[in-house]
Structure 1
Amino acid sequence: MPSCQKIAPGATTYAGKQGFDYFEGIARETTGSRGICMHLLTIPPGGRAKAHKHATHETAIYVISGTSIMAWGERLEHRMEVGAGEMLYIPADTPHLPWNPGPEPVTAVIARTDPHEQESVVLLPDLEGLVP
């Protein structure tokens, strides 16, 4: 029978394909989870992800501090600002690219329906030039 586990933030980080460093939280690799992952992300002022999507997996984000902007859509044609205390839902297979316009870091909790967080990441280099 699987057991309950506690993970302390700050223990281990990893570099994601998206271009950010993540706190390695709950995932198949750390806890044996089978249907979910949850990580902490801090985007420094001026930080920007690579254009990407998560194939077949949904994402839910809770912003703890700071304000981020996200471009999303087939050609990253939409913009959304998300700030402290707000939640964001990203449907599966939705191209997106978040960035932090500054001046303070953005810290967020990210949960995804993929227990192996990086497995479903699909980079979209053809969309990179569509966002400044």
Structure 2
Amino acid sequence: MTEPHPDEPRWKHDGVRVIKGDQLDPNTAQTPGMFRQAAINHARVGAQKIWAGTVTIEPDAKTGFHHHGALESVIFVVRGKARMRWGERLEFVAEAGPGDFIFVPPYVPHQEINADPGEPLECVLVRSDNEAVVVNIPDIDPVEKPEAVYWVDPIHRHPG
């Protein structure tokens, strides 16, 4: 018989954590047309270098133009149709659907869009830090004028 590991009590309470889907925390930065819930962050599980949660985006909603500083972001599309625009003038565009991953590197100017006018976009979002860094870019001159629906709030400002 082996002796108990000296770290067993610590690992019991500070080891692997399972966050049930119905126990996500909506106490996150919220924006109109977008509903975020945290699963993994410092407050909930003590995470030091990562944030993970879900986001549901209303039909036709979109962010203003922004970047996330030094953070890296990964978006996994669960349901719906995502459109991403990025670049100095948002000149690049790509779409993603269920099962697709989107990677947003540090400092890349971009805009997230629910490209479906009739269905919500549901995603899992993972960021490389616990800080909610959003740098709005008010003076961008996009190659294609944005549609009329925006997420407008203190975090995502209207670009016009």
Same fold (TM over 0.5): yes
Q: CA RMSD in A?
A: 2.2
In the TM superposition, what are the counterparts of 1:1-132 in structure 2 within 5 Å? 2-10=14-22, 11-13=24-26, 14-16=28-30, 20-102=34-116, 103-116=118-131, 118=132, 120-127=133-140, 130-132=145-147
Unaligned runs of 5+ in 2: 1-9, 148-160
SS at match of 2:74: strand
TM-score (norm 1): 0.85
Structure with greater strand percent:
1
Unaligned runs of 5+ in 1: none
Q: Alignment identity in percent?
A: 29
Kindly tell me: are residues 87 and 60 of structure 1, through their superposed partners in 2, closer, same or farther at Cα, counting changes over 3 Å?
A: same
The CA deviation at 1:40 is 0.3
Structure 1 runs (4+) deviating above 6 angstroms are: none
The structure with the larger Rg is: 2
Aligned counterparts of 2:32 and 2:72: Cα–Cα separation in 1: 16
Instruction: Choose between structure 1 and 2 for higher RCO, CA contacts under 8 A separated by at least 6 residues.
Output: 1
Kindly tell me: are residues 25 and 125 of structure 1, through their superposed partners in 2, closer, same or farther at Cα, counting changes over 3 Å?
A: farther
How many residues align? The count is 130
TM-score (norm 2): 0.71
Kindly tell me: are residues 107 and 17 of structure 1, through their superposed partners in 2, closer, same or farther at Cα, counting changes over 3 Å?
A: closer
